[in-house]
Amino acid sequence: MNYIASIGSYFIMIREVFKKPTKWPIMRKLILKEIDELIYGSLGIIIFISFFIGGVVAIQTALNITNPLIPRNLIGFATRQSVILEFAPTFTSIIMAGKVGSYITSSIGTMRVTEQIDALEVMGINSLNYLVFPKIIAMLLYPFVIAIAMYVGIFGGWIAGVFGGFSSSADFIEGIQLDFIPFHVAYSFIKTIAFALIIATIPSFHGFYMRGGALEVGKASTTSFVWTSVVIIIVNYVLTQLLLG
């Protein structure tokens, strides 16, 4: 019953986020601040991870091609498919759930512990709109980050394949172009938008409704990461079945 009550409270929170909006001049500053912290601040780790994930996929594909009849352009094809369909949108989102989600939960949880949220509500401010809405808007730029992750991942695969001696540049690029389906990119971006909303709201829920002191802030951050990851994996399965099944 606790899980059902929590799910109900989560959707009630989502509804309250869009009520009684904060004045635009204030909201604009909050949104720009969240874009800087949640999106721009995450570019470095995402580019780093995507580059090496693409390289690992290319190397592992090359090492498993033992039959000389299998064309070498399969390395580029497998790297493109793996990065675009799963590694860029899903694996990166799990990383973001740890980095961004923990930050959101701890920042809002600290405000709850220090009674800053109570002060906002006493002043007549919709604290959920003030705290959560800018994060949702900022995370709508998340697909642009995933687009960069796709490019860097494939580029990392090309670097590993060509300079590692596993494939020629022409074969790898031919594999990237082989049987390309544009809807796969659209599918990844649809997943990414869903993941962005999950990363923005579930950690906010755990931070906003936590009770206790500084120790509970850490526990709430851990719990939010676990549940954000679980929901991302479930939504990934459902969307894959709906869009590609």
Q: List the one residue out of 183, 182, 179 whose CA is nearest residue 76.
A: 179
pLDDT tens digits in sequence order for the chain, 245 residues long = 578 888 888 999 999 888 888 888 888 999 999 999 889 988 999 999 999 999 999 999 888 887 777 787 888 898 999 999 888 899 899 998 988 988 999 999 888 888 888 888 888 888 888 989 999 999 999 999 999 999 999 999 999 988 888 888 888 898 888 888 889 999 999 999 999 999 999 999 998 888 877 788 888 888 899 999 999 999 999 999 998 87
Neighbours of 197 (CB within 10 A): 16
| pLDDT of amino acid 137 | 93
In b/e form, how buried is each residue of 199-238, taking b as 16+ CB within 10 angstroms? bbbbbbbbbbebeeeeeebeebbebbbebbbebbeebbee
The rounded distance, in Å, linking the Cα atoms of 107 and 210 is: 12
| pLDDT of amino acid 179 | 84
Identity of the amino acid at 202: I
In three-state form (DSSP H/G/I as H, E/B as E, the rest C), the secondary structure along the chain is: CHHHHHHHHHHHHHHHHCCCCCCHHHHHHHHHHHHHHHHHHHHHHHHHHHHHHHHHHHHHHHHHCCCCCCCCCHHHHHHHHHHHHHHHHHHHHHHHHHHHHHHHHHHHHHHHHCCHHHHHHHCCCCHHHHHCHHHHHHHCCHHHHHHHHHHHHHHHHHHHHHHCCCCCHHHHHHHHHCCCCHHHHHHHHHHHHHHHHHHHHHHHHHHHCCCCCHHHHHHHHHHHHHHHHHHHHHHHHHHHHHHHC
Neighbours of 125 (CB within 10 A): 17
Half-sphere exposure of 4 (CA within 13 A, CB side): 1
The rounded distance, in Å, linking the Cα atoms of 60 and 49 is: 16
| pLDDT of amino acid 120 | 84
| pLDDT of amino acid 125 | 85
Q: List the one residue out of 157, 152, 150 whose CA is nearest residue 77.
A: 157
| pLDDT of amino acid 197 | 93
| pLDDT of amino acid 153 | 93
Q: Where are the domains of the chain?
A: 2-11+23-244
